[in-house]
Chain A
Amino acid sequence: MTDVITPPATSGGIDLPDEHAPVAAHGHEEHGPSGLLKWLTSTDHKVIGMSYMITSLVLFYVAGIMALIIRLQLASPNSSLVDFQQYNQLFTMHGSLMLYLFAGPFAFGGLANYIVPLQIGAPDMAFPRLNALSYWLYLTGSIAMMSSFLVAGGAPSFGWVSYAPLSNATNSPGAGGDMWIMAIALTGFSAIFTGVNLVATIFYLRAPGMTMFRMPIFTWNMLVTALLILIAFPVLTSALIMLFCDRHFGTHIYSVVGGGSPILWQNLFWFFGHPEVYILALPYFGIVTEVLPVFSRKPVFGYKGMVFATMAIAALSTGVWAHHMFTTGAVLLPFFSLLTLLIAVPTGIKFFNWIGTMWRGQLQMTTAMLFCIGFLFVFLIGGITGVMLGSPPIDFFVHDTYFVVAHFHNVLIGTAVFAGFAGIYYWYPKMFGRMLDERLGKWHFWLLFIGFWITFMPQYVLGLKGMPRRVAVYPDNLGWQIYNQISTVGAFIIAASFAIMLWNLWISWRRPVLAGDNPWDAHTLEWFTTSPPPHHNYTHLPPIRSERPTWDANHPDAPALEHGHPRQSPNGSRKGGERKVGTH
């Protein structure tokens, strides 16, 4: 069935969102299928986004349990909790699940799917059925990857980077590796389709008045992320197809024997892999940029600077792939080192703007805000150690040690976990119409924050002491044991914090506290509609005269600002531009 969509009426900017009843919306929703069939057949971006988020969070918990087994194994030297092969499978699957199936899909498949059409006032994504297909490809890819544990030979054990020649048919025989390749190919196509969908939605389905430079920063970051996906994922998919041919059809693309080049795999993989890091990071930067202004009661500081910094990060990120390959001796060190160090500049601009947003604001320390501030600390250390690793002399020294492991956990837990859960705490009331418990949320935050540093700070020391990554056992006479034990304790503190998160979800499910349409007094368009939003999102929209349409509609007495400056537009719904706001 098909719904023909006409634009919602304007509300004149004075209607408060709770004055209009969501009755019509509910009537609208009922003509679709319900129950399981609804989840199977829905093309609604909210249902699909929700499926994405639930699936990826389940996989996040599974991969977290794998991490706990890894940490238990390393807690004592020469431990035999798991054997070498099982250990290799565990860290391979931990990395693959977290990177391919959680961090990326949660952000651009889940949150972006749910939030972007709401933020730009669109009724749905541009290609709803393609959107549904993306989810089913992602789900089947996830199933394929998880079921590789069940086949003979078990899950792949060549690491999430799958370096040739370790990943060829001689060194990694069995169906597990093939299922891994197919799983990544399926989720890769899912990501490409979502990328196309997001670009088309943002270019063509914005509400009238929602110009590009009035889009929320989250939407901007998703646009740039979608372009990065379109740049990076096809390279990965083609590299995987060639790997599959090497394994089964007798080609020698990555093997020296037949005149191929194993380094080619590394070049192709990291041409995907480094943009992938930013595909994982940029959406989460967007979440932070949404949450910080709301709980600082200020517009975001340096809106256009944020947008251009995002573009600069994305552009530079595609020119740095070989900084993962410094020690191969086959890459141009000055070129990649220079571009790598340059990324620190736009990232620094973002940090400056985030701090500028909080500066002299009326900070409200909600759970979402705490997670964002935690992100600033964690990601800052991740970024600084990244600059250290971008310098070849240091990289030659610590390459493939626990220093690198600690560095990327600093980066990825900072973004995908701290900023990601800030997003969950922030948007949960919009998605379900109920609140999460703030007290439990703060327990979650503080346990995670403390547990994080206890887990990963010792790993920097271990790296400097020379402990290589991806080893299942280590000798007991090198002084590594105590650091590993501290790290394991930290990992269990993190696990406890996520148990609290589950408890919090359970409580909000059993004893709902209703949220209302806009519990945070937030700025952007998605808070104007009901919580949860009706089918096709809006019954009417406020006039869009700045990057904060909902704030403008709810605070007609506040000075009319655009990008933090008095508004120039003469046709605005309210007169504006007389006085500056005190916080600037």
Chain B
Amino acid sequence: MLLLGVGVFFGLIGTIYWFTAYEDGGTMMLVGTCLLGLLPGSYYFYWHRRMPVRPEDRDDATMEDGAGTIDSFPGSSIWPFVIGMSAFLITMGLVFGFWLALPGVGLLLTALAGVTAESRRGGTV
């Protein structure tokens, strides 16, 4: 509902701005923001209509209502660090020359393979 509100608000402001300012850049940004609210907002609304109320949204829920598995969480993982380093090498490669980006791309591919394998072994991301 919050995101739908974002969408409607920026739709409104965008319209006002379009008719008063005659300026393209700002109008496009406001339209983009409107869509940013509407897209996930309507997705949530769709599921909100079709799901029972979750324990975390009920006033009187007890902890037992939430019993069961919440989710699987990775305990630790080296791959975010590797992806971070590869992102660093690739962006610096854009500045200093593409030779620097090559090991970055290699690391990135390794890390993507690693993180996928890790997810397969141990539940959801």
Contacts and interface: CB of A to CB of B under 8 A. Distances in A.
Task: Give the interface size class of chain A.
Answer: 35 or more
A8 B68 contact: no
Contacts of A53: none
A321 B17 CA distance: 12
A572 to B, nearest CB: 7
Nearest to B21: A332
B96 interface: yes
Contacts of B96: 175
Interface in B65-80: 65-80
A528 to B, nearest CB: 12
A127 B96 CA distance: 33
Residue picked from A3, A9, A179, most chain B C-beta under 10 Å: A3
B76 A43 contact: yes
B102 interface: no
Given A136-B85, A140-B85, A267 B25 contact: yes
Given A41-B78, A207-B63, A209-B60, A6 B68 contact: yes
Contacts, number: 198
Contacts of A128: 73-74, 77
Nearest to A321: B26
B124 to A, nearest CB: 9
A1 interface: yes
Given A244-B94, A331-B23, A335-B17, A2 B84 contact: no
B95 A8 contact: no
B95 A1 contact: no
Interface in B111-125: 115, 121-123, 125
A10 B9 CA distance: 40
A143 to B, nearest CB: 7
B38 interface: no
Residue picked from B23, B65, B75, B123, most chain A C-beta under 10 Å: B75
A572 B94 contact: no
B74 A129 contact: yes
B92 interface: yes
Nearest to B75: A1
Contacts of A173: none
Given A38-B76, A132-B80, A332-B20, A235 B29 contact: yes
A140 B13 contact: no
Contacts of A175: 95-96
Contacts of B31: none
A140 B95 contact: no
A123 B74 contact: no
Residue picked from A8, A318, A322, A541, most chain B C-beta under 10 Å: A318
Contacts of A144: 88, 91-92
Given A264-B25, A271-B26, A335-B20, A43 B75 contact: yes
Contact of A2 (B56, B73, B83): B73
A132 B73 CA distance: 13
15 contacts: A4-B69, A5-B70, A7-B67, A43-B75, A124-B73, A128-B73, A132-B77, A136-B80, A179-B92, A186-B88, A209-B55, A230-B36, A318-B13, A335-B16, A544-B61
**Shortest 9 CB-CB contacts between residues of A and residues of B:** A136-B84, A2-B122, A132-B80, A10-B63, A140-B88, A208-B55, A571-B60, A208-B66, A208-B61
Given A137-B87, A143-B88, A311-B2, 17 more contacts: A1-B76, A1-B122, A2-B73, A5-B71, A6-B68, A9-B63, A40-B81, A43-B73, A127-B125, A128-B73, A128-B74, A129-B77, A136-B87, A175-B95, A175-B96, A208-B55, A572-B60
